[in-house]
Amino acid sequence: MKSSVLLGLLCAAGALASPLDKRVYVTDVVVVTVTTTVTDEPTAAPTSTAVTSVVVTSEPVQKIPAPAPTSSQAPAPAPAPLVASEQPAPEQPAPVAVSSSSTSTSFSSETTQSSTASASSSAWTFSSAATFSQTLAPVPAPATTLSTTTAAPAPTSPLASGYQSLILYNHNIHRSNHSVDSLTWSADLEASAQALAQKCVYQHDTSINGGGYGQNIGYGISADNIGEMITNLMYNNEEGYFSPYYGQSQPSMADFDKWGHFTQIVWKGTTQVGCATVICNGLGNVDSSSPLPFTVCNYSPPGNYDGEYADNVLEPLGQPFYAVSA
């Protein structure tokens, strides 16, 4: 008999706040999964069982002063840029950062709210027995209503050895299903992601190289199978939870932790991505005695802006289901 422990995956996305007053909410989730494989005879098929436990909490974070505007830099052109209001009354919300992992999961999020909004806190747990290839939580059936918007061209299949190709393919195949343009690779975003990943500390940092981008971080999935993190955990596990909110400019944030990764992946206003994966012998803020792959993905422009979901998260076209083999 032999036993093995699956490594945990955490994915998180973070983004800069807007230049107006804002208040930030933070959500932390921890998931632990243990898998045991028993083999009695050489011909016997291995079996595996995993138990996942997730705890999510959110708490208010004090308001952060908005940075002074500058005209020294102009944003890179984008097919569908995010437009911030110049009027003094409306507040431009900040993007939300999220994270998750496969076997031990925690989520963190930041979102801008009105200065008069009331603070709230919540916690929920769930557990399930399943093989690693199954979803971590029951997901509502995804919406299948056809959109009137023309679908973007589907990406071609990536080469197995191409890290950039795997990243782009596992984003763009889902963006195509939501009628938005494909992401392109950014060397600048990759450099910022590499700088953070090499620190081997599991935490967000969107200030590297000037900031101005959104961010996902996660651990436990190797670079050669990075599509499992993006497709299986971030998209497939979450799209169904967002189905009641299509067409709403501001969906309820009560269950944001269940769909925040998905919305960043298909966010129409995001045009570029850059990622890096490194092996950390010791990953800060993670309790593990084994080396872990640590992945950082940066997005520009960042997604998950309050009040802009209807224009940036479009209904799926109902293309064939796609998943990455574990």
pLDDT for res 281: 94
The residue that leads in pLDDT, 32 or 181, is: 181
Identify how many contiguous H helices and E strands the chain contains and give both numbers: 6, 10
Give per-residue pLDDT as tens, 192-236.
Answer: 999 999 999 999 999 999 999 998 889 999 999 999 999 999 899
Average pLDDT over the chain reads 67
Please compute the mean of the pLDDT values over residues 241-259 and round it to a whole number. 95
pLDDT for res 244: 96
Give per-residue pLDDT as tens, 36-64.
Answer: 444 444 444 444 333 333 333 333 333 34
> Which helix (H) or strand (E) covers residue 189, if one does?
helix 187-197
Q: How far apart are CA 28 and CA 37, in angstroms?
A: 30
pLDDT for res 290: 92
163-311 homologous superfamily: CAP (3.40.33.10)
Place of tokens 């995001």: 270
The residue that leads in pLDDT, 2 or 282, is: 282
This prediction's pTM: 0.56
Confidence of residue 174 (pLDDT cuts 50, 70, 90): very high
Please compute the mean of the pLDDT values over residues 147-158 and round it to a whole number. 44
Q: Say how many C-beta atoms besides its own lie within 10 A of residue 210's C-beta.
A: 10
Respond yes or no on whether the N-terminal peptide bond of residue 316 is cis (omega within 30° of 0): no
Q: Are 270 and 276 in contact (CB under 8 A)?
A: no
The residue that leads in pLDDT, 114 or 275, is: 275
**Closest-CA residue to 17 (of 92, 116, 70):** 92
Phi, psi angles (nearest 5°) of residue 68: -70, 140
DSSP character for 225? Answer: G
> Which helix (H) or strand (E) covers residue 13, if one does?
strand 11-14
The residue that leads in pLDDT, 257 or 251, is: 251
Phi, psi angles (nearest 5°) of residue 230: -70, -50
pLDDT for res 39: 42
Q: Both tokens of residue 183?
A: 């992401």
Give the list of residues 6+ apart from residue 66 with CB closer than 8 angstroms, or none.
Answer: 17, 18, 19, 20, 21, 22
Q: Say how many C-beta atoms besides its own lie within 10 A of residue 83's C-beta.
A: 10
SS3 266: helix
Q: Say how many C-beta atoms besides its own lie within 10 A of residue 314's C-beta.
A: 20
pLDDT for res 180: 98
